[in-house]
Amino acid sequence: MSQPSPFAVFGHPVAHSLSPRIHQDFAEQFGIVLEYRAIDAAPTAFAEAVHAFFAAGGIGANVTLPHKGAAFALADERSEAARRAGTANVLTRLPDGRLAAHNSDGAGLVRDLTERHGVDLRGRDALLLGAGGAARAAAWSLLDAGVQTLTIVNRTPEAADALADAIGEPARVHTRYWDDLADLGSYDLILNATSAGVLGGTLKLPMSLVGARALCYDLAYGAAAIDFVAWAEAAGAHRAWDGLGMLVEQAAEAFELWHGRRPDTEPVYQALLAAG
């Protein structure tokens, strides 16, 4: 009997990761037997741990905080999505042993919004809070999906400016200062890509940002997204979601990349919802 194919998710910490469960559920849909484990690697040990995993026969790995930038730098080849974001959340061993990097975050976000939640992104005026790795992936994909304008606000304005400059569409992409949030007016799509919830902090956002029938989305999920979703609902948002669906969809992107088959994400998403 052949050994199961080895896959992993790298992070620090990583014990909370839902990726092992998600990928096992995907694999069961196709009768694929795989080994998928969580590997906790401190930043100083990340590169060594990745090389050891692939040297031992690893086929593919997901990468979560705080290693997405390091994964991008470690790779020998990079997809367009990874190059645009400047980060990677997927590493794949190529036939010659080199590593290829990909970023599935932006595609996962758009698929969750458009296919699961039925959102037409075309023509929307979007506000993106944050300018880190997740925000960079989201920005490109939102523009590809047709948002009319994208305003990027980050506590460190230089990062927002760098992202806008990289996109190079001044007619559609704007940056503003965090201290000016109360003066920006309202938006019909607001996305939180900051690390505040993940780090246990809170965002103090003016309710004036939420326009009529606005949609709000936190790229984090679970406890990390509770404060933002509660703010959105209190401000009168038409709908507010956390990023659980994005997590499932970005995992499906990686699964299809590795196995050549697209899993049915909805039963996996619903099972995770039911599990709380």
Q: How many helices (H) and strands (E) does the chain have?
A: 10, 12
**pTM, to two decimals:** 0.95
Residues 139 and 221 occupy one common structural domain: yes
Residues 152 and 202 occupy one common structural domain: yes
The pLDDT, as a whole number, for residue 227 is: 95
Residues 200 and 252 occupy one common structural domain: no
The pLDDT, as a whole number, for residue 216 is: 98
What residue numbers bound the domain in which 93 lies? 5-103+246-275
Q: What is the spatial distance between Cα 207 and Cα 212, in angstroms, rounded to a whole number? A: 12
Q: What is the spatial distance between Cα 260 and Cα 274, in angstroms, rounded to a whole number? A: 28
Residues 133 and 259 occupy one common structural domain: no
Q: Quick one: the chain helix, strand, coil %, rounded to 5?
A: 45, 20, 35
CATH code, 271: 3.40.50.10860
Among residues 193, 68, 190, 178, the alpha carbon closest in space to that of 130 is found at 193
Residues 28 and 110 occupy one common structural domain: no
Residues 131 and 219 occupy one common structural domain: yes
Contacts 24+ apart (CB under 8 A), 206-213: 206/181, 206/182, 207/231, 207/234, 207/235, 207/236, 208/182, 209/127, 209/181, 209/184, 209/185, 209/235, 210/186, 210/235, 210/236, 210/237, 211/186, 211/187, 212/186, 212/188, 212/238, 213/188, 213/238
Residues 121 and 134 occupy one common structural domain: yes
The pLDDT, as a whole number, for residue 203 is: 86
CATH code, 216: 3.40.50.720
- Walk along the chain (276 residues) and give the pLDDT tens digit of each residue: 457 889 999 999 999 999 999 999 999 999 999 999 999 999 999 999 999 999 999 999 999 999 999 999 999 999 999 999 999 999 999 999 999 999 999 999 999 999 999 999 999 999 999 999 899 999 999 999 999 999 999 999 999 999 999 999 999 999 999 999 999 999 999 999 998 767 667 789 999 999 999 999 999 999 999 999 999 999 999 999 999 999 999 999 999 999 999 999 999 999 999 997
The pLDDT, as a whole number, for residue 2 is: 59
Residues 110 and 85 occupy one common structural domain: no
The pLDDT, as a whole number, for residue 276 is: 79
Residues 168 and 59 occupy one common structural domain: no
First to last CA, the chain: 36
As for how many domains the chain has, the answer is 2
Q: What is the spatial distance between Cα 266 and Cα 249, in angstroms, rounded to a whole number? A: 9
Among residues 97, 95, 44, 102, the alpha carbon closest in space to that of 71 is found at 102
Catalytic residues, by residue number, are: 68
The pLDDT, as a whole number, for residue 1 is: 44
Residues 29 and 52 occupy one common structural domain: yes
Are 8 and 36 contacting, i.e. CB atoms less than 8 angstroms apart? yes
